[in-house]
Amino acid sequence: MRIVLDTNVLVSALVTRGTPPDLLHQAWDGREFELLTSSAQLAELARVLSYERLRPYIRREEAEGLLETISAVARVLTELPDVSLSADPDDNLILATAVAARADLLVTGDKSHLLKLKAVRGIPIVTPREALARIKRSRE
């Protein structure tokens, strides 16, 4: 299974252990799915992980480790199509990544924009909990 994890899911995986975003991160570490991303999303992730308000929750070493691991192991796309389905340019970046990667799923916690779309060009947009259920079903 080929999955794009929204930046909010990746950050949540470091902040809240034992939750669906963390369990997705563990599933990816266990190679239960292929993580797809883009160089633009990696830049966004680096920016978000440097926010002062996250420092009490995410150690610098954890943030650097996540970025290094994703860069080394995930499939990183450099060219993205234009996608303008959301008022939020960061959301359009994630949507474009899923489209360019021909992902099986786009996983997000963004209830106000992305989840409302339900799909982008035939790619389901789901919550971390739903993604975990789909990964489990694909193993059975």
Which tens digit of pLDDT belongs to each residue from 49-60?
999 999 999 999
At 53-92, the pLDDT tens digits run 999 999 999 999 999 999 999 999 999 999 999 888 889 9
d(CA 22, CA 36) in angstroms, rounded, equals 17
Residue located via tokens 């420092």? 55
pLDDT band at 44 (very low <50, low <70, confident <90, very high): very high
Domain of 114, CATH number, reads 3.40.50.1010
The range of the structural domain enclosing residue 12 comes to 2-139
CA distance linking residue 21 with residue 34, whole number of Å: 15
Q: Count CB-CB contacts under 10 A for residue 65.
A: 12
Domains contained in the chain, number: 1
For 70-84, letters b (16+ CB in 10 Å) and e give beeebebbeebeebe
Q: What's residue 112's pLDDT?
A: 87
pLDDT digits (tens, 9 = 90+) for 106-134: 999 999 899 999 999 999 999 999 999 99
